[in-house]
Structure formats: structure tokens, C-alpha cells
Structure 1
Amino acid sequence: MQQLDFDPAVVLNKLDDDLTLSYVDGVLSLRHQDQSFQSLAIDFCSPQFLYRLKRAAHEQLVKACRIKNQSKIRLLDATAGLGRDAMILQTVGFKVTAYERHPLLAALIADALTRIPADREPFDLQIGDATTVFQSGDFDVIYLDPMFPDSKKSARVKKDMAILQQLHQHTSDDSHELFKAAWQASCQRLVVKRPQKSATLSDAKPTFQINGKTCRFDVYQRA
């Protein structure tokens, strides 16, 4: 933990009794004592994710966050989660700062960033509450993906995401409050990722929406 610039006491304090934080073969992962659960680790170099990175410019996420005729867009990913969206945006040229509130998830992301190729620029990872910097004026785009795994999905999905669900079981869904705080921020654009059939997080009508197969991006042009 100290090698990743994390306080071990802070990280381990969030570790439930039935979870183990392991470092095996150079990879940090969370494992459940029930061996039927899939361990949780983050890998930005897996073949599947590298394929996504090669096609990153075509991602709906990128289209939602990109501002016409503007390069090196400063983007705040306020809800980093597994860090994949932040990595995609950083790869296509955004200058990404990603915040993750949960110390265990932040530690997994930090570990994954140490394993990316030397020729790839990592995004800036911060642990904590992103709302503290909403009013800084340092970002062109604020991106919100208030990820709360759906416990009603299939058993297979629940098994794969069981540990992630467990990490969030004591966390209240404050996505509406998060949106309100971001709405007051000084930025050009606010982008919110939502499940395809979910309601918007606000009565405010999005400037436009970009739809995918399972999710959509509500885009609010602020300036």
C-alpha cells in the first residue's frame, strides 16, 4: 500500500471480514472467502480492454465528452469506479483527473496504473470526494457515472460483480445530490452516464443525449 502512496490503515479499515486484499503475481486484487466468487482486480492491459482502447475514438463516451474545436480537454471524472472510462478518455487525448471515494477501489486503480506500458500516459488519480474541487474552475468537463450495481440482474452477473456490490452495500445512493453539486460547478459541459431506461438525475432537460445498447449519456452544455 505504501508503494502506491496509500495509508494501509485507511485502506484496510474498509476491508470486510470476508474479504482479503491480495498481491499475487504482481497484481493487487480483492478476494472473497467464498471461492465461488470471482476476485476483483483491475487490468488496463487485458486483450479485451486493449481492443477497446484501439477503438476508443469511436466510443459513445468520447463523443459525449468531446467539445468541438477544443483539444486537450480538462476532464474531471468524479466517480472513477473501476477507472475504465478515465483510461479511455485519457487515451484519446483528454487530460483526466479521476476521483474515487472508496479506498479499496482507489488502491486497485492505482495498482493497475503501475502496470500500463511506459509509453502510455496515466490519468491523475485522486482518492476522496470530487465535490471539493467542483468549484475550482480547473475543468472543462465534469463526468458522472454514479455506479450502483443492480442486484436484480442475473445470477451470473451477480457472481461476477459480487465483491463490487459488497463494497457499495453501505454506501447510500447520493447521485441526485452529486448532480446538483456538479450543476453549480464552473465547467463547459456536464456528462452523466445512465442505464438506458433510467430517468434523468434532474428535471433539467439534457442539451442532447447519446444512446448505446445498455446505457446512454445525458449531456448538459453549460457554456
Structure 2
Amino acid sequence: MVSELRLFVEPEFHPAAQHYLSVLQGRGVAVQLEVIDKLSARFLRLNPELALCVDQAGLWLCAHGMKMQPDWRAEVPRLKRASLKSEMIARACNLAEKPKLIDATAGLGHDSLLMAHLGAQVTLLERHPILFTLLEDSKKNAAQDAFLSPVVARIDLIFADSADYLSQQAVQHQSVDVVYLDPMFPQRDQHQQAIKKQAQVKKQMQLLHLLLPEDGSMDLGDALLGLARQVAKRVVVKRPRLAVYLAEQAPNHQWQGDACRFDAYFQELLEA
């Protein structure tokens, strides 16, 4: 159960807020709806605790005078510049083959959006009810965009715990081409505490970290790697460039960038 959050809304958008209230409560989130005169930047600064709000753009997460939603429409310029040759993630995930891919660490969904744009059929998993609802809203809005509509049609958004989902796939002997992992807290390592956190993260990630506190090894992704290797021909892990290997397992191949790298684990090499 998620702790109770306030949901702020102006009278004009009260019907939409009632919809979100019903959806979130159905997903186990305790929400208190508060109708206010004006949802302004000043109001958000005066109410700095983690909360939700609704306006003409839909549902937002807000705190400390900021608000955030996974705005997939804002990714359109990046998608239009992207190509199989220019994107390192495309080479790492072999997107030229239009793979069936599971993104087991949804985040804001931007990597899934890019991979779907470049041809992947993506199953996007998210276990947190609030983040899932934000992603669901973003996908719905993106589907109304002429450019994004065929892209999001290749994304199947599923409300599930990734470990449970991957375990079920393994039990049922289901397989996919790729499982993609981008752990929420890659800077912290249980065995090498010398790895430093980034000095500053973007506004979206600041709010996401407030919503998803660093509270367990699952959020580090270590426990997911073994499960992913049971169901995928290729597991690709996105890491900060100097971070230790996930679960202390050396990959079969790496793609190195300036700020991050992609570690790949191949099933055929495991079975050799």
C-alpha cells in the first residue's frame, strides 16, 4: 500500500481528477482529493510535500515546487533524429532485427519509446501503481499524436512486478529476444560503496526518486539479471560508464559511450 497522497485540482478539471482518483484507489493508492482555486507555481512551492495534481495536460507528480509527468510527446525531436546507426542502444539490443523485447525497468518509458520507434515490439513493465498510472496516461496522450501513434502501438504496458513477470515467463517456458534493464539506482552498489552518486539529477528524476525510495536490492537490478537470462536470448543492461557489473557478472560484450555503457549477456554463450 502506498502512503496517502493529496491530489490537487482546480474546479475546471474536477471530473478528470475523479477519474484518476478512482483508478489509483483501485490500484491500492490512498488518495485525498483537494479542490483548490489555482494550481500555480506559487501554490506548489507552498505545498512542497510529494503529491499529485491534475490540469489540462493530465496527471502530474509534484513536490518542492516542481511537477513531472513522463511526457512522451516531448521525445519526438529525439526520435526524429534517431537511427539504427546513430543509437548505441540500437546496436546493443539488435533493434535492426525488430526484436520482441521486455523492458523490465520502465522508469519514464523514454528508452522503450525509442526502441519501439526503431522497430522493437516492447513489453514495458512497471510495478509502482502511481508511476504505472503516469505512464498509462502518457501512452494514451501519445496515441493521439500522428507521429507517435504507430510507435506506442508497439508498446504493451503491463502493471506487474518485473521479478514476478520474468519468473512466470520462465516457468511457462516463454522466451523473448531481449530483456532490457536500466536499474533505478545504478550509482549505489552493495559491495563497492566508493561509487559516488551524481551531483545533480534532472527534475524528472528528482521527483521519481522521491516516489521510488532506494529501499532494496530489487531496485538495484541485481536480482533481475538472473531471471532475465532465463527467458531472453540477449540481456542488455544500461550502466553508468564506470559502474561495477550488475550482480557482479561480467558481460559477454560491451558498448561504451561517454556517460554510460551497455553490457550484454548472450544466452547462446551461456549454453555453449
Tell me, yes or no, whether TM beats 0.5: yes
Structure 2 distance, partners of 1:14, 1:143, is 32
Letter of the 1:103 counterpart: P
SS at match of 2:215: coil
- Taking structure 1 as reference, are residues 3 and 221 closer, same or farther at Cα in structure 2, changes over 3 Å only? farther
Query: Which residue pairs with 1:210 in the alignment?
Result: 255
Partner of 2:181: 144
The aligned counterpart of 1:99 is 125
Q: Is 1:164–2:200 an aligned residue pair? A: no
Of 71, 76, 84, which aligns to 1:43?
71
Counterparts in 2 of 1:59 and 1:41: CA distance versus 1, 3 Å: same
CA RMSD in angstroms comes to: 2.8
Distance verdict in 2 for CA 1:149–1:27, change over 3 Å: farther
In the alignment, is the contact (CA less than 8 A) between 2:60 and 2:134 conserved in 1? yes
Larger proportion of strand:
2
Q: What is the deviation of 1:158?
A: 6.7
Percentage identity across paired residues of the two chains: 33
1:31 corresponds, among 54, 62, 70, to: 62
Aligned-partner SS, 1:188:
strand
Partner AA of 1:121 in structure 2? V
1:54 to 71, 80, 83: 80
Indicate the residue corresponding to 1:219 in structure 2: 264
Q: What is the CA deviation profile of residues 10-40 of structure 1, one whole-angstrom value per residue up to 9, with x for unaligned ones?
A: 253389x9222222112311112x32xx211
Q: 2:231 aligns with which of 169, 172, 186?
A: 186
User: Within 1, Cα distance between the matches of 2:79 and 2:116?
Assistant: 10
Does the CA-based 8 Å contact 2:185-2:214 persist in structure 1?
Answer: no
**How far apart are the structure 2 equivalents of 1:40 and 1:11?**
21
Q: For residue 159 of structure 1, report the CA deviation from its aligned partner.
A: 5.5
- Give the secondary structure class of the aligned counterpart of 1:81: coil
8 Å contact from structure 2 (residues 239, 261) kept in 1: yes
User: In 2 relative to 1, CA 77–2 (structure 1 residues): closer, same or farther, beyond 3 Å?
Assistant: farther
Give yes or no for the alignment of 1:130 onto 2:156.
no
1:56–1:99 distance in 2 versus 1, CA, 3 Å: same
TM score, norm. by length of structure 1:
0.83
Q: Which amino acid aligns with 1:141?
A: V
| Structure 1 residue aligned with 2:4 | none
Per-residue CA distance 1:136-183 (angstroms, 9 max, x = gap):
52411111111127694335x375533211112153132211112222
Structure (1 or 2) with the larger CA radius of gyration? 2
Aligned length: 213
Greater helix content: 2
Paired residue for 2:217, among 165, 173, 190? Answer: 173
1:15-30 residue pairs with structure 2 within 5 A?
18-30=49-61
TM superposition shift of 1:63? 1.2
C-alpha offsets along residues 114-136 of structure 1, whole Å, 9 cap, x if unaligned?
Answer: 11124423111011112333215
Report the AA paired with residue 30 of structure 2: N
List structure 1 segments (4+ residues) > 6 angstroms apart after TM superposition. Answer: 1-4
Match of 1:65, as an amino acid? C
Q: Which has the higher contact order (CA 8 A, sep 6+)?
A: 1
Counterpart secondary structure, 2:70? coil
Question: What does residue 12 of structure 1 align with?
Answer: 29
Aligned mates of 2:163, 2:247 — CA distance in 1 = 17
Amino acid at match of 1:120: P
1:169 partner letter: P
